[in-house]
Chain A
Amino acid sequence: MKIEKEVTVGTEEREDVLLTLKPNPEGGIKINITGKGAEQFGEEIRSAAMSVLKEMNVENAIVEIKDNWAFDYAIRARTRAAVLAAKGEV
């Protein structure tokens, strides 16, 4: 699946992430992680987001994640909601 629309979900509140999903004109998946847990848990955050993108067959997207010490489930949830919102779900 190709992401054709930019959407943002989540918040900057504690234990959450602000996640923006955008089209990637160059193709492939690119994940940029910033915020509080980026340095310490960057790999875990990337792998949580990636697991959902893979499950949902997303092949082209830029994902920007601003973390505020979110647990895995919140990262997965925000990624899933962003993909569904990009598909037009309410």
Chain B
Amino acid sequence: MAYKLRRSRIYVPGNNPRMLSTCGLFDADVITIDLEDSIAPDQKLAARWLVAEAFKDLDFGRSEVTVRINALSTPWGRKDLEAIIPTKRVEVIYLPKTESPENIKQLDSVLEKLERESGMEVGATKIVPILESAKGVWFAYDIAVASDRVVALSFGGEDYTRDVGGERTPEGTELMWARSQVVAGAKAAGKQALDTVYSNVEDLEGLYKNTVMMKKLGFDGKAAIHPNQIPVIHEAFNPTQDEIDYALRVIQAIEEAKAKGSGVVALGRKMIDKPIVEKAERVLMIAYLAGMIEEDEIPENIRESIVKEEE
């Protein structure tokens, strides 16, 4: 599957024209236009059509264009899709409160119908389920494999904590199991894992430390609620120069061993096995997508799996 950079994802309220017309300048990997929690019930109609009309005119820069719709069990979810899918601008639907594979299958079939009616390729619209309840997190893997459209699992920490009767702490102890479960569920299915927001927008240092930890846990990206958080999240997810140098040495060692016809690869006194190679390839892929290295520095075998945005 093609790897797409989804380090940062900024939420933009769908009923705010000013935010819609400027969010393309934020340089986020992903823009998620929100029709759900940030929109009051009596504004759902207005927001839905503001977003649909915005898609006809606005440019969102290099960002992946995604929409968080209302759950399909609400009076609004299906109408959201009917308004925005025919614009052919939505790359990914974020489905809130996903708790079962059936939620995804239902969305999949509505998308298929709308794609056919709009003359789009069936399957063009991808899905990211948002897991934000005990049940949703518990069924992470089943949800991730419920449709080929699913490209990642996203974790919602605030609602999850409320659902399990826990309490939010600065260290995030209450989220440890859930985060690991979301990562494992996503990775077992070969999908990306995207972390919840860091709520304290004033504390960029705390955000950086938290994001580095999430990267170590296996997450590929993190949601942002303020544009100032975006460059910090990118920095945390980007490989360090040391990681890039090491990955390049690993790839070089493999090529040298191949040239010698040797099946055993070593770097210094350390054996290079498959997980090390895969990690090196991943580091170089992210480094390339983040503009840190040139295309010819990536090993040929992974070049074709990379989705690079047009400059």
Indicate whether B172 reaches chain A with its CB closer than 8 angstroms.
no
Whether A81 and B46, one on each chain, are in contact in the complex, defined by CB atoms closer than 8 angstroms, is yes
A residues near B79, Cβ cutoff 8 Å: 89-90
18 residue pairs of the A-B complex, CB under 8 angstroms, read A13-B18, A14-B18, A16-B17, A70-B17, A71-B57, A72-B57, A73-B50, A73-B58, A74-B17, A74-B50, A77-B46, A81-B50, A84-B49, A85-B45, A89-B45, A89-B79, A90-B44, A90-B45
B309 CB → nearest A CB, Å: 24
The answer for the CA separation of A81 and B75 in the assembled complex, in Å, is 16
Whether A81 and B49, one on each chain, are in contact in the complex, defined by CB atoms closer than 8 angstroms, is yes
The residue that A76 contacts in the complex, of B44, B45, B53, B76, with Cβ under 8 A, is: B53
Whether A73 and B54, one on each chain, are in contact in the complex, defined by CB atoms closer than 8 angstroms, is yes
Interface residues on B, range: 20 to 34
* Residue in chain A with minimal CB distance to B19: A15
A residues near B53, Cβ cutoff 8 Å: 73-74, 76-77, 80
From residue 104 to 141 of chain B, which have CB atoms closer than 8 A to chain A? none
The answer for the CA separation of A56 and B49 in the assembled complex, in Å, is 14
Known: A71-B21, A73-B56. A13 touches B49 (CB 8 A): no
Indicate whether B52 reaches chain A with its CB closer than 8 angstroms.
yes
From residue 41 to 90 of chain A, which have CB atoms closer than 8 A to chain B? 70-74, 76-78, 80-81, 84-85, 89-90
A residues near B50, Cβ cutoff 8 Å: 73-74, 77-78, 81
Given contacts A15-B21, A81-B48, 7 further A-B contacts (CB under 8 A): A14-B18, A73-B58, A74-B17, A76-B53, A84-B45, A90-B45, A90-B76
B residues near A16, Cβ cutoff 8 Å: 17-18
Indicate whether B199 reaches chain A with its CB closer than 8 angstroms.
no
A residues near B18, Cβ cutoff 8 Å: 13-16
* Residue in chain B with minimal CB distance to A10: B46
The answer for the CA separation of A84 and B53 in the assembled complex, in Å, is 14
Indicate whether B16 reaches chain A with its CB closer than 8 angstroms.
yes
The residue that A81 contacts in the complex, of B21, B45, B58, with Cβ under 8 A, is: B45
A residues near B76, Cβ cutoff 8 Å: 90
Known: A13-B17, A13-B18, A16-B18. A73 touches B57 (CB 8 A): yes
The residue that B49 contacts in the complex, of A14, A70, A72, A80, with Cβ under 8 A, is: A80
From residue 9 to 48 of chain A, which have CB atoms closer than 8 A to chain B? 9-10, 13-16
A19 CB → nearest B CB, Å: 10
Q: 5 closest Cβ contacts across the A-B interface?
A: A77-B53, A73-B53, A77-B50, A15-B17, A73-B57
B residues near A84, Cβ cutoff 8 Å: 45, 49
A8 CB → nearest B CB, Å: 10
* Residue in chain B with minimal CB distance to A72: B57
The answer for the CA separation of A80 and B56 in the assembled complex, in Å, is 14
Whether B75 and A90, one on each chain, are in contact in the complex, defined by CB atoms closer than 8 angstroms, is yes
A residues near B52, Cβ cutoff 8 Å: 77
B residues near A81, Cβ cutoff 8 Å: 45-46, 48-50
A residues near B46, Cβ cutoff 8 Å: 9-10, 77-78, 81, 85
B219 CB → nearest A CB, Å: 34
* Residue in chain A with minimal CB distance to B57: A73
A residues near B44, Cβ cutoff 8 Å: 90
The answer for the CA separation of A90 and B75 in the assembled complex, in Å, is 8
